[in-house]
Structure 1
Amino acid sequence: MTAIDSTLAALRRGDLAGAHTLTLRGGLREFPPEIMGLADTLEVLDLSQNALSVLPDDLGRLSRLRVLFCSGNRFDRLPPVLGDCVALSQIGFRDAGLGEIPAEALPPKLRWLTVTGNVLRDLPRAIGERPLLQKLMLSGNQLSELPVSLAGAPSLELLRLSANRFESLPPWIAELPCMAWLAWAGNPMDAARAQDARSIPWDRLALTGQLGEGASGQVFRADWQDGAESRPVALKLFRGAMTSDGLPEREMEACLMAGDHPNLAGGLGRVTGHPDGAQGLAMRLLPEGWRALAGPPSLESCTRDVYAPDAAFTAETVLRLAYAVACAGAHLHATDLSHGDLYAHNTLWDGAQGDAVLSDFGASAALPPPGPLRRALEGMDVLAWAILVEELLARCPGLEAVDAIRADCLDRNSSSRPRFADIVEELRPLVAVSLHSPSR
């Protein structure tokens, strides 16, 4: 008996009465009516990787349903019945064949919508009329414009537009007061840049262990036979042709364009000749014990990283972390790159002193020429940095000087925020003092 058969049997026997979460993945062709028996308790429903094409007209009876995943199914439009779900705040229909999002399909409490990898050509005006909307994932569609109503989205913080058909960014993007994580690579406006990147043949690599895993792929430790020398590297292998942030080739391009910097996970070359055709990037291997500063956002936190319950940092560590990430941001902007995903979960650190590198260029994109739009886009990365620092300060109170710098980065006018280069100059003397304090 498969896992889904076992779960269905338990559901039909009534064994799951009172359940808050239900996962039924793989094999469904119709919505099991027994799910309605959980109407008073069900909050999270995962129906991904099935062959569903419709949802029941009375889905709104699931009055406590907050999260619905239907990725990898066969829907041609977002089911209008979703709008009847009064508590529904997170919807995931990735790679589901969507060609239309009816206005009535958007529930009033919508906070997080993922429709990556569909065939959408337009969006309804109503999407900008959901005041709680924080996270909108649109990569890998056929969009060439967005509803002007999104210009007034008061809570929108994360927007993924990569791999669509945009000839330019909507001008009102620069005016979104809370936008901190924006991705737009892989559109006509974002021409690929020639790279002299080194090719690293797959048969010159020997995997020696897994280092981590993310939404876009897996990272391994490997030995690279570089001529007569064997050198350890970190090897990222991408899962497919599209990630939640955009295209793997754009991620690799950005990582290689960024070049070598002590606070970046630098790219060494592209992998060629993988037996399954997978795309890969070799990067410098960090010292053993380095790890992500935090975990990625959860269903509840939406756009905020999740830290270990006992996470705490010394003042010196917070200073060094803030400085390291600001230095990375300053280097990227000087190299004409936006990061687009500046987060603690994309910051790798030594776990002790505060040495750190910024990683994951999946949302990175080439900045436009100097001007108001570029200034605003740079300010979005700066806001993301301020949010990261705010999270650190919550676990290390009393750093008034750093808190004052952070506060300047929260200006609702993106173009009025300080540049990373200015932040680095303000932090440098504070870090120097901490390094020479008697406690060291």
Structure 2
Amino acid sequence: MHTLSDLRAGRLTGLNRLNLAEGLTELPREVLALADTLEVLNLSGNALHSLPDWLPELRHLKVLFCSDNRFTRVPEVVGACPQLTMVGFKSNQITEVPASSLPARLRWLILTGNRIEALPDTLGQRPALEKLALAGNRLSHLPDTLAGAPNLALMRLSANAFEAFPDWLFDLPALCWLALAGNPATQALEQSRRAQAARAADLPRVPFSALQWGALLGEGASGHIHQVAWPPTPQHPQGEALALKVFKGELTSDGWPDSELTACLSVSPHPNLIGVKGLLQGHPQGRDGLFMPLVPADHQALAGPPSLASCSRDVYPADRAWPLREAWQMAHDTASALAHLHAQGWMHGDFYAHNLMWRAGAPLRLGDFGAATPFDEADTAQAGRMAALEVRAWGHFLHELLSHVVPPAGAAVPEGWWSLHRACVGPVGQRPGWAAVLQHLQALRP
């Protein structure tokens, strides 16, 4: 974090990323001293309600974060910034998005957790638009100008007011990461799934007071994950080490944690899914919690999440590589897990390598159901639409796997692999279903 005093003293000359959080009520003009170099401006956590007319003079500005401020509308001056591609106004009190507030080069728009009821038609006139985060607003419709948006790959529409979703949404050519839960359109199905899971699940309920607490393993948007040991049982006389996810109960970029909880409880076990071992009871703040198997310490996320530059694609360590046989196993593990989810009426919605726990030679484990969307698996048309979206996401993952394959000397990845990739990311109506994907994989087995 930088300071206003350092900025005013000229000690930040040449900076390309500026982070200011000092309770600002206006943006200090001294920021203009960085106009020749500044590319990322993070003003989150202030008390701003407007931005100055001179903002476009930051001619190299590409990324603007204004989360957790006091904006009630997206300032029109934002749309005049010539190089701006990423705009974030998460967790303000925004009710209005003026047509002129969206930059011409817009690629990534974050408006999560506001009070927006409608979006301008100009949103569909931004051909570079790739990611659209709108969870936790009051939207009941989308601009029809978005239909056919050529590069829109990720949308978060959870926790809004949609009674139905436009048909064109599922025909967007690049879309593959979609979250819709927590809307009136999904409410009945979510309630039914939650009730069925509560009746059917034979899961132990473990009181908060009986736990032995270990290290904090991680924190995600929806909760904290701790290592815990629960009390001795006949099966585990010494107790059992587990991971416990305690939900925050707050809106996340994916939607409501309650939707994630419903998905976790509704899906039956699968060897490549991080399953549920029990439910937490008696949390002092009344929070929900899920016990999960403890992922071995030698496992790690297969990749890192998307960067500001990669936008919707994961970032892999430079040294990550594997033989074709291991790539086949990872491709099969993940396709099998996703087919299992879809057979039970759930789309994962966030199928990425950064949500896969990995160790060389071990089965992959898929977690993070925060963006999961329920659908009626008996409705073959709807099931096909959901599969087509997630098959494309898996197709991107397949390309990433193949890009990190180290083939035997003098060999190349067989064409059949690339043929499967092209089919999975091809036109919506021509993508294979999960059964066909698994069949094709069997034929490719090294």
With normalisation by structure 2, the TM-score equals: 0.92
1:362 pairs with one of 370, 374, 387: 370
Equivalent residue number for residue 210 of structure 1: 216
Counterpart code for 2:91: D
Equivalent residue number for residue 173 of structure 2: 177
Describe the superposition over 1:184-240 as per-residue Cα deviations: whole angstroms up to 9, x where unpaired: 001111122213154432223322123333333332221122656422212122334
Distance 1:360 1:160 in 2: 15
Counterpart code for 2:4: L
2:382 pairs with one of 373, 380, 386: 373
Describe the superposition over 1:251-308 as per-residue Cα deviations: whole angstroms up to 9, x where unpaired: 0110111121101011223323222344322112223311111010011100000111
Report the 3-state secondary structure (helix = DSSP H, G, I; strand = E; otherwise coil) of the residue aligned with 1:294: coil
CA RMSD, Structure 1 to Structure 2 (Å):
1.6
Describe the superposition over 1:128-178 as per-residue Cα deviations: whole angstroms up to 9, x where unpaired: 110000000000000011010111211000000000011111110121010
1:399 aligns with 2:413: yes
1:303 aligns with 2:312: yes
Equivalent residue number for residue 344 of structure 1: 353
Counterparts of 1:178-257 in structure 2, within 5 Å, are: 178-190=174-186, 191=188, 192=191, 193=193, 194=195, 195-196=197-198, 197=201, 198=203, 199-225=205-231, 227=233, 229=236, 230-257=239-266
Deviation, 1:371, is 3.3
Distance 1:22 1:325 in 2: 39
Work out whether residues 115 and 138 of structure 1, in 8 Å CA contact, stay in contact via their aligned partners in 2.
Answer: yes
Distance 2:291 2:178 in 1: 25
Equivalent residue number for residue 424 of structure 2: 409
Report the 3-state secondary structure (helix = DSSP H, G, I; strand = E; otherwise coil) of the residue aligned with 2:168: helix
Distance 1:60 1:203, change over 3 A: same
Deviation, 1:40, is 1.5
Work out whether residues 409 and 417 of structure 1, in 8 Å CA contact, stay in contact via their aligned partners in 2.
Answer: yes
Equivalent residue number for residue 289 of structure 1: 298
Report the 3-state secondary structure (helix = DSSP H, G, I; strand = E; otherwise coil) of the residue aligned with 1:267: coil
- Note the residue ranges of structure 1 that are not aligned, 5 or more in a row: 435-440
Instruction: Give the ranges of 4+ consecutive aligned residues of structure 1 lying more than 6 Å apart after TM superposition.
Output: none
Number of residues of Structure 1 aligned to a counterpart in Structure 2: 426
Equivalent residue number for residue 420 of structure 1: 434
Q: Which range moves more in the overlay, 418-427 or 210-219?
A: 210-219
Q: Which range moves more in the overlay, 313-322 or 129-138?
A: 313-322
Counterpart code for 2:7: L
Distance 1:235 1:404 in 2: 41
Equivalent residue number for residue 325 of structure 1: 334
Report the 3-state secondary structure (helix = DSSP H, G, I; strand = E; otherwise coil) of the residue aligned with 1:143: coil
Equivalent residue number for residue 437 of structure 1: none
Work out whether residues 174 and 373 of structure 1, in 8 Å CA contact, stay in contact via their aligned partners in 2.
Answer: no
Distance 1:235 1:429, change over 3 A: farther
Report the 3-state secondary structure (helix = DSSP H, G, I; strand = E; otherwise coil) of the residue aligned with 2:32: helix
Equivalent residue number for residue 438 of structure 1: none
Work out whether residues 319 and 402 of structure 1, in 8 Å CA contact, stay in contact via their aligned partners in 2.
Answer: no
Counterpart code for 1:10: D
Report the 3-state secondary structure (helix = DSSP H, G, I; strand = E; otherwise coil) of the residue aligned with 2:250: coil
Work out whether residues 345 and 383 of structure 2, in 8 Å CA contact, stay in contact via their aligned partners in 1.
Answer: no
Distance 1:238 1:36 in 2: 42
Counterparts of 1:9-408 in structure 2, within 5 Å, are: 9-190=5-186, 191=188, 192=191, 193=193, 194=195, 195-196=197-198, 197=201, 198=203, 199-225=205-231, 227=233, 229=236, 230-349=239-358, 351-368=359-376, 369-396=378-405, 398-400=412-414, 401-408=416-423
Work out whether residues 256 and 268 of structure 1, in 8 Å CA contact, stay in contact via their aligned partners in 2.
Answer: no
Counterpart code for 1:353: G
Counterpart code for 1:18: G
Instruction: State the identity %.
Output: 46
Distance 2:61 2:218 in 1: 32
Report the 3-state secondary structure (helix = DSSP H, G, I; strand = E; otherwise coil) of the residue aligned with 1:174: helix
Distance 2:247 2:50 in 1: 32
Distance 1:428 1:32, change over 3 A: same
